[in-house]
């Protein structure tokens, strides 16, 4: 049984001090992750056929009470700011629910996927974006969705450890303050260009962009577009440009689904 979940790029976020949630603004992408789930005596996970340890995927299967063989086929790089672990986890939950006739509601599958991601330290809310599609934001009044399929471009140079960043309390204090300020300044509802424009200064304040990222953003801006760094990865996502970056896709108008 196959399922697909869109990748997602978070432009800005602010972790909640009270629970494991997060305010933020993200877009789902038409490029994403496909998983194939089959019966197995014990759970195994492979990426493009190569066996790997993939904690959130294993955790979500545990929460569903099943064992399975899972093959993850990413259309975007893993660990580079595309929420690929969340996409793989959510797609696995959808496929396993269908394959094993579990009868869980979609909301419950999303909840299990989110809990698995948080427990693994690999994400704070990617699966909610990947479930809904479009531009998803939460400025403090709950998650809301803006339907859009705007073209975007991206370039990626590598990854940053999401788990390490989320565990860095000093960094998260800065993220909470600066990210909160950006979110408070967004129009309601936000659109893609202003979101990207306002999130680039946020990334620079955190001291995260490498010179390659900064140079790529400058190239996009010189062409009349806007760009920012994905949270968290050495990845640039851009809008209102064409042919500047090597990868072109759209904001996904749909969320995760069976294939």
What domains sit in the chain, N to C, each tagged with a CATH number? Answer: 1-259 (3.30.230.10)
Please report the pLDDT score of residue 166 as a whole number.
Answer: 66
Residue 149, C-beta contacts closer than 8 angstroms, at least 6 positions apart: 30, 250, 251, 252, 253
Q: CA-CA distance, 207 to 142, in Å (whole number)?
A: 29
Name the percent of the chain lying above pLDDT 70. Answer: 97
pTM exceeding the 0.85 threshold for the entire prediction: yes
Please report the pLDDT score of residue 21 as a whole number.
Answer: 58
Q: CA-CA distance, 65 to 186, in Å (whole number)?
A: 41
pLDDT digits 0-9 by tens, 175-232: 989 999 999 999 989 999 999 999 999 999 998 999 999 999 999 999 999 999 999 8
Q: Which residues of the chain have pLDDT under 70?
A: 17-21, 162-163, 166
Please report the pLDDT score of residue 20 as a whole number.
Answer: 47
User: What's the token pair of residue 180?
Assistant: 């909160």
User: 7, 28 in Cβ contact below 8 A?
Assistant: yes
């Amino acid at each position: 049984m196959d399922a697909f979940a869109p990748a997602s790029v978070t432009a800005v976020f602010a972790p909640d001090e009270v629970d494991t949630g997060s305010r933020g603004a993200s877009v789902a992408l038409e490029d994403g992750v496909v998983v194939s789930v089959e019966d197995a005596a014990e759970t195994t996970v492979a990426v493009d056929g190569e066996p790997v340890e993939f904690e959130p995927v294993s955790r979500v299967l545990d929460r569903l009470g099943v064992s399975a063989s899972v093959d993850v086929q990413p259309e975007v790089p893993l660990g580079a700011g595309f929420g690929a672990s969340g996409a793989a986890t959510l797609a696995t939950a959808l496929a396993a629910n269908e394959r094993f006739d579990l009868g869980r509601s979609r909301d419950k599958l999303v909840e299990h996927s989110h809990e698995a991601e948080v427990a693994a330290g690999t994400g704070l809310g990617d699966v909610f974006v990947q479930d809904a599609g479009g531009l998803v934001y939460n400025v403090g009044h709950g998650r809301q969705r803006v339907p859009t399929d705007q073209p975007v471009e991206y370039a990626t140079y590598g990854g940053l450890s999401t788990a390490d960043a989320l565990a860095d309390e000093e960094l998260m204090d800065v993220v909470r303050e600066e990210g909160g300020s950006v979110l408070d300044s967004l129009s309601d509802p936000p659109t893609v260009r202003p979101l990207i424009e306002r999130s680039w200064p946020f990334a620079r304040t955190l001291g995260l962009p490498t010179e390659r990222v900064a140079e790529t953003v400058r190239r996009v801006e010189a062409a009349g577009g806007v760009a920012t760094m994905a949270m968290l990865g050495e990845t640039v996502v851009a809008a209102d440009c064409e042919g500047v970056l090597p990868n072109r896709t759209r904001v996904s108008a749909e969320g995760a689904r069976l294939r």
